[in-house]
């Protein structure tokens, strides 16, 4: 497994483009050719700037191939969204590790919706553990994304979720995490993870909000980003001409500068 291929001088400067259900809603279409073409435009605009890209196999991969991009890519293994079981959220695997590798992926991503204080935590852990083992068996590094939900009085769910997996000896190659709330929490996550890298996801935050969060996170041990909607969500609904391309490039350049700051 070669996780370094996704980095520039140890920093992950990555584009997230694996959205499916939300992407279809933004464009008000389920036409895969249209969706692939739009993802192709985003990739073409930014391909010289990112170190790697996260794609969905449904139509994002097609857009990537059409773009001619040669940067390494991750593919997501889970179904879009989640299964709602008595108010709790369960991840369902859609693509097996060997399928992702056969599609050309250099790594895999798994998203779990998670609250360590709910009954579903055990099932989510078991799903993630099996996926991690299967990916490592075929030589794919895993970027593990935790999206928290619900509440736990007096608890930081991002930190508690990381603790939950570490206590069970679950070590993906990279943790992909929400902003945990403040500088001290970022530092605590870095201390918990030690040599295991973590990167920040945008979680749909507006660009300048994400910019501030990224600066705080990277100052306290975060190793970069896997940024998606903050970069392109308000551009994707437009006819993407040079103006829209330039805006996305300016945004991406700003977060790169923050991540690479010494």
Tens of pLDDT along 210-248?
999 999 999 999 999 999 999 999 888 888 899 999 999
DSSP 8-state symbol, 93? B
Q: What does the block give as tokens for 95?
A: 């693509």
Rg from Cα positions in the chain = 17
- Which residue from 43, 13, 5 is spatially nearest to 199, judged by alpha carbons? 13
Q: How far is CA 116 from CA 80, 159, 169, in A?
A: 21, 10, 15
- Are 106 and 73 in contact by the 8 Å Cβ rule? The answer is yes
Q: Where do the domains of the chain lie, and which CATH numbers do they carry?
A: 3-260 (3.20.20.70)
pLDDT in tens, 42-65: 999 999 999 999 999 999 999 999
Q: What are phi and psi of 157, to 5 degrees?
A: -65, -30
| H or E segment and range at residue 45 | helix 32-46
Pairing mode, strands 174-177 and 142-148: parallel
Q: What would the pLDDT profile of 109-167 be if each residue is shown by its tens digit?
A: 999 999 999 999 999 999 999 999 999 999 999 999 999 999 888 899 999 999 999 99
- For residues 18 and 63, the answer to whether their CB atoms sit within 8 Å is no
């Amino acid at each position: 497994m070669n996780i370094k291929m996704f980095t520039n001088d140890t920093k992950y400067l990555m584009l997230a483009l694996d959205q499916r259900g939300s992407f279809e809603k933004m464009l008000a279409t389920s036409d895969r050719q249209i969706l692939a073409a739009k993802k192709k435009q985003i990739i073409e605009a930014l391909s010289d700037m990112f170190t790697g890209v996260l794609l969905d196999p449904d139509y994002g991969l097609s857009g990537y191939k059409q773009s001619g991009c040669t940067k390494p890519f991750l593919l997501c293994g889970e179904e879009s969204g989640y299964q709602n079981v008595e108010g709790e959220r369960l991840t369902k695997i859609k693509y097996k590790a060997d399928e992702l590798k056969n599609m050309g992926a250099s790594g895999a991503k798994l998203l779990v919706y998670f609250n360590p204080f709910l009954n579903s935590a055990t099932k989510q852990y078991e799903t993630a553990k099996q996926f991690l083992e299967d990916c490592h068996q075929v030589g794919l590094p895993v970027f593990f994304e935790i999206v928290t939900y619900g509440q736990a009085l007096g608890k930081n769910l991002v930190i508690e979720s990381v603790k939950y997996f570490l206590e069970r000896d679950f070590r993906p190659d990279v943790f992909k995490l929400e902003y945990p709330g403040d500088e001290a929490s970022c530092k605590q996550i870095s201390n918990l993870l030690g040599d295991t890298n973590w990167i920040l996801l945008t979680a749909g935050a507006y660009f300048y909000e994400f910019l501030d969060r990224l600066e705080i996170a990277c100052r306290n041990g975060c190793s970069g980003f896997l940024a998606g909607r903050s970069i392109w969500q308000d551009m994707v609904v437009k006819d993407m001409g040079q103006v829209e391309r330039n805006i996305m490039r300016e945004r991406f350049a700003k977060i790169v500068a923050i991540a690479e700051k010494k």
